[in-house]
Chain A
Amino acid sequence: EVQLVESGGGLVQPGRSLRLSCAASGFTFDDYAMHWVRQAPGKGLEWVSGISWNSGSIGYADSVKGRFTISRDNAKNSLYLQMNSLRAEDTALYYCAKVFPRGFDFWSGYLDYWGQGTLVTVSS
């Protein structure tokens, strides 16, 4: 059974940093690209970042570019999101999601498994 379990969320002051983790199991982690998707309270889904199976291709939403860094450790079956210079508008539930590939690009495909999310609240 595929499982994605996010952790690392919490309350943080504006300008501070937080590192999210996503522990994957039930599939061959290093065969698949992975994404982070967030959802602000009462709002829709926003793609944040994605990474190819071998970390060779990475992308970010403009809203987080230069502040967030995605990474993965295939030996540990884990995905990470380092979030720096956090802002109030980064407050959201952060999901990690597995990509079922439909092409050669890391963003090409559908998100067939999602975690339950970890809540990040940026507030003073």
Chain B
Amino acid sequence: DIQMTQSPSSLSASVGDRVTITCQASQDISNYLNWYQQKPGKAPKLLIYDASNLETGVPSRFSGSGSGTDFTFTISSLQPEDIATYYCQQYDNLPPAFGPGTKVDIK
């Protein structure tokens, strides 16, 4: 099975800050990597698919990059409504594993 790791596990940042989360796969997954946002008490929401493609309707301050084993998710200017946990997920192989998540809050 492919293992997914994320760092950091949590972070605090100020409104307007640039926030970066990394996700690493235990083996090459090409660009078969998605990012989801989960706000407290809500279902996850797709933000980025295929490592760098922004889902329709998602604000452009969110972006993703990377391929192979190393991926990055960025919020260019953190907003109060971005308080959430962010998960990466690979779909190169079964099982389509999620990373452990990164909790983002406001400093």
Q: Looking at chain B, what size class is its interface with the partner chain?
A: 20 to 34
Counted as pairs of residues, one from A and one from B, with CB atoms less than 8 Å apart, the total is 63
Q: Which of A102, A110, A111 has the most CB of B within 10 A?
A: A110
Q: Which of B38, B45, B96 has the most CB of A within 10 A?
A: B96
Count of A interface residues, CB-CB < 8 Å: 25
CB neighbours (8 Å) of B43 from chain A are 95, 114-117
Task: Identify which of A45, A46, A102 contacts B91 (C-beta below 8 A).
Answer: A102
CB neighbours (8 Å) of A109 from chain B are 91
Task: Identify which of B1, B46, B50, B101 contacts A45 (C-beta below 8 A).
Answer: B101
**Residue contact A107 to B87, C-beta cutoff 8 Å:** no
CB neighbours (8 Å) of A50 from chain B are 96
Q: Which of A44, A50, A115 has the most CB of B within 10 A?
A: A44
**Residue contact B98 to A47, C-beta cutoff 8 Å:** yes
What residues make up the interface of B, taking CB atoms closer than 8 Å to A? 1, 32, 34, 36, 38, 43-46, 49-50, 55, 85, 87, 89, 91, 93-101
User: What would be 10 A-B contacts, judged by CB atoms less than 8 Å apart?
Assistant: A45-B38, A47-B98, A50-B96, A61-B95, A62-B1, A107-B94, A110-B46, A110-B49, A111-B34, A115-B43
